[in-house]
């Protein structure tokens, strides 16, 4: 990010139902930095804004790139490993989350559009020179919640919903999901799905973004990931899983799955994972 400067917001005490934010900071991992495994009594969310690295949580490695969201639950031992010369820029939020059925996934990938929004929110914090002054309390708190809105959506703790509509929310999204259930495959293009749904691509993307915050391509990726995780849990071979969700090249399926979850299909299968719900 341009105009980077360190940010440390202590004793935030920003609280909404189910979430209490303790602290927020922006870390630039320097080449000489050494991060030994450690744990906290509170939860922690890490958001990679730029660069790459490897986060190890409870001895499980997660390869991280811009947009990767890592959730570390209270008491979980975790650490950082540098993988490239370029140090990553990581947003760290210490928080307490109410544990519900939508417990955050340990590693998720944020859509590019949401990553752009998070970066913009962090930049707004840059411009508040006296962030801990009383006069800035409400402004800082609102920006922090904007960031968490995108981050916890990516991690699966909150669900996508229509932020602008009425009780008819998600009608288009649910219809498109039914279309995906019936006809998604390697030979099926996004244009074909849009046409089967009765919309031009641009118009459909606008409707989906208004309803669930995702484009058609992003919705299909999440739909495919949910199915892939279910098939892996059922014990199907990875080649078969890829073919069933429309990715016939096994090597590409492995790369795609790692991009979505931070883990290879084999590593995810060995770990006691909960399928991501969107």
Domain-wise residue ranges, the chain: 7-155, 171-270
Q: What is the pLDDT of residues 27-60, one digit of tens each?
A: 776 555 556 788 999 999 999 998 888 888 988 8
Q: Look up tokens 């409707």; give the residue.
A: 207
- Provide the token pair at 188: 């099926």
Global pTM exceeds 0.85:
no
Query: 7-155 has which fold?
Result: Jelly Rolls (2.60.120)
pLDDT in the model for residue 14: 86
- Provide the token pair at 71: 């959730």
28 or 229, which is more confident? 229
Class of domain 171-270: mainly alpha
Interatomic CA distance for residues 170 and 130, integer angstroms: 41
pLDDT in the model for residue 158: 81
3-class DSSP assignment, residue 22? strand
pLDDT in the model for residue 129: 67
Interatomic CA distance for residues 44 and 93, integer angstroms: 6
Single out the residue of 261, 262, 194, 268 nearest to residue 225, CA to CA: 261
């Amino acid at each position: 990010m341009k105009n980077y400067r360190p940010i440390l917001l202590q004793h935030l005490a920003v609280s909404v139902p189910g979430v209490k934010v303790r602290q927020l900071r922006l870390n630039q991992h320097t080449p000489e930095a050494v991060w030994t495994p450690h744990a906290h009594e509170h939860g922690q969310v890490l958001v990679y804004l730029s660069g790459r690295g490897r986060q190890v949580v409870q001895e499980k490695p997660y390869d991280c790139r811009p947009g990767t969201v890592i959730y570390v639950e209270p008491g979980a031992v975790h650490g950082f490993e540098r993988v490239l010369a370029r140090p990553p820029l990581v947003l760290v939020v210490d928080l307490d989350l109410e544990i519900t059925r939508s417990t955050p996934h340990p590693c998720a990938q944020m859509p590019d559009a949401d990553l752009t929004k998070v970066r913009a929110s962090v930049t707004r914090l840059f411009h508040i020179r006296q962030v801990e002054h009383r006069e800035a309390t409400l402004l800082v708190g609102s920006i922090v919640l904007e960031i968490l809105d995108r981050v916890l959506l990516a991690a699966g703790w909150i669900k996508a919903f229509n932020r602008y509509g009425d009780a008819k929310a998600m009608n288009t999204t649910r219809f498109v999901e039914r279309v995906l259930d019936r006809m998604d495959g390697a030979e099926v293009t996004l244009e074909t799905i849009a046409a089967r749904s009765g919309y031009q691509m641009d118009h459909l993307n606008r409707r989906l973004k208004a309803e669930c915050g995702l484009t058609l391509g992003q919705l299909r990726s999440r739909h495919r990931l949910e199915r892939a995780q279910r098939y892996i849990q059922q014990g199907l071979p990875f080649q078969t899983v890829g073919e069933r969700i429309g990715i016939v090249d096994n090597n590409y399926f492995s790369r795609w799955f790692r991009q979505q979850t931070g883990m290879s299909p084999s590593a995810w299968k060995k770990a006691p994972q909960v399928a991501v719900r969107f």
